[in-house]
Amino acid sequence: MNREVPQAGAINDPSEGSLLNAGFIGLTFLFFLTSSAMAAFFQLHSYLQSIQVSPAWIGFIIGADSLASFVVQPICAPYLHPGNGRFWMAVGIVVMAASLLAYSSGKSLGALVVIRITQGAGFVCFLAAMMATIVGYIPPSQSGRGFGFLSLVRLLPYAVVPPAMTSLMARSISFPVILVGFALLIACSLVLLFFVRPTVGPRGDKQSGGAGPVGFRETMEGLKDRWILALLAINLLVFMCYTVVFFYISGYGRYAGIPGTGLFFTIATLMMVVVRLFGSTFFDRFDKSRITAWCLAVLATAFFFLPYGTGWAFYILASIFGIGWGAIMPLLNAMVFDASLPHLRGVNLNMALVTMQGGFFLGPLAGGLVLVSAGYATLFVLCCPLSLLALAFLALKKQQKG
What was the pLDDT predicted at 230? 92
Q: Is 272 part of any domain? A: yes
Q: Is 1 part of any domain? A: no
Neighbours of 261 (CB within 10 A): 19
The answer to whether the CB of 351 falls within 8 A of the CB of 74 is: yes
Q: Helix 143-170 crosses helix 22-39 at what angle (to 10 degrees)? A: 30
What was the pLDDT predicted at 356? 86
Q: List, for residues 326-385, the tens digit of each pLDDT value.
A: 999 989 988 998 888 777 777 788 888 888 878 888 898 898 889 888 888 899 999 999
What was the pLDDT predicted at 96? 95
Q: HSE of 68 in the Cβ direction (CA atoms, 13 Å)?
A: 23
Q: Is 80 part of any domain? A: yes
Kind plus residue range of the DSSP H or E element containing 362: helix 345-374
Q: Is 319 part of any domain? A: yes
Q: Is 10 part of any domain? A: no
- Dihedral sign of CA atoms 218, 221, 225, 226 in order: positive
Side chain identity, residue 311: G
Q: Is 8 part of any domain? A: no
Residues 6 or more apart whose Cβ sits within 8 Å of residue 59: 364, 365, 366, 367, 368, 369, 371
Distance between CA atoms of residues 342 and 135, nearest Å: 10
Q: List, for residues 104-139, the tens digit of each pLDDT value.
A: 888 888 899 999 999 989 998 998 888 888 877 777
Distance between CA atoms of residues 198 and 3, nearest Å: 13
What was the pLDDT predicted at 17? 60
Q: Is 274 part of any domain? A: yes
Number of structural domains, the chain? Answer: 1
Residues 6 or more apart whose Cβ sits within 8 Å of residue 359: 66, 235, 236, 237, 238, 239, 240, 241, 242, 243
Distance between CA atoms of residues 280 and 294, nearest Å: 16
In this prediction, residues 256-279 reach a mean pLDDT of: 82
Under the banding of pLDDT at 50, 70 and 90, the label for residue 300 is: very high
CATH code of 144's domain: 1.20.1250.20
Task: List Cα–Cα distances, 223 to 227, 232, 276, 296, 352, in angstroms.
Answer: 9, 10, 28, 24, 11
Under the banding of pLDDT at 50, 70 and 90, the label for residue 198 is: low
Listed range (56-60, 80-84, 195-199, 240-244) with the worst mean pLDDT: 195-199
Q: List, for residues 209-220, the tens digit of each pLDDT value.
A: 445 566 666 667
Listed range (144-153, 264-273, 391-400) with the worst mean pLDDT: 391-400
In this prediction, residues 255-262 reach a mean pLDDT of: 78
In this prediction, residues 85-93 reach a mean pLDDT of: 90
For residue 13, pLDDT beyond 60: no
Distance between CA atoms of residues 321 and 305, nearest Å: 11
Neighbours of 378 (CB within 10 A): 12
What was the pLDDT predicted at 213? 60
Distance between CA atoms of residues 315 and 103, nearest Å: 32
Distance between CA atoms of residues 14 and 134, nearest Å: 10
The answer to whether the CB of 337 falls within 8 A of the CB of 137 is: no
Under the banding of pLDDT at 50, 70 and 90, the label for residue 204 is: very low
Residue numbers of the domain that contains 217: 15-191+206-395
Q: Is 155 part of any domain? A: yes
What was the pLDDT predicted at 12? 41
Q: HSE of 38 in the Cβ direction (CA atoms, 13 Å)?
A: 25
Residue 219 CA, chain-centre distance (Å), reads: 21
Nearest to 350 by CA among 132, 151, 38: 132
Rounded to the nearest 10°, the torsion over CA 290, 291, 297, 300 is: -130
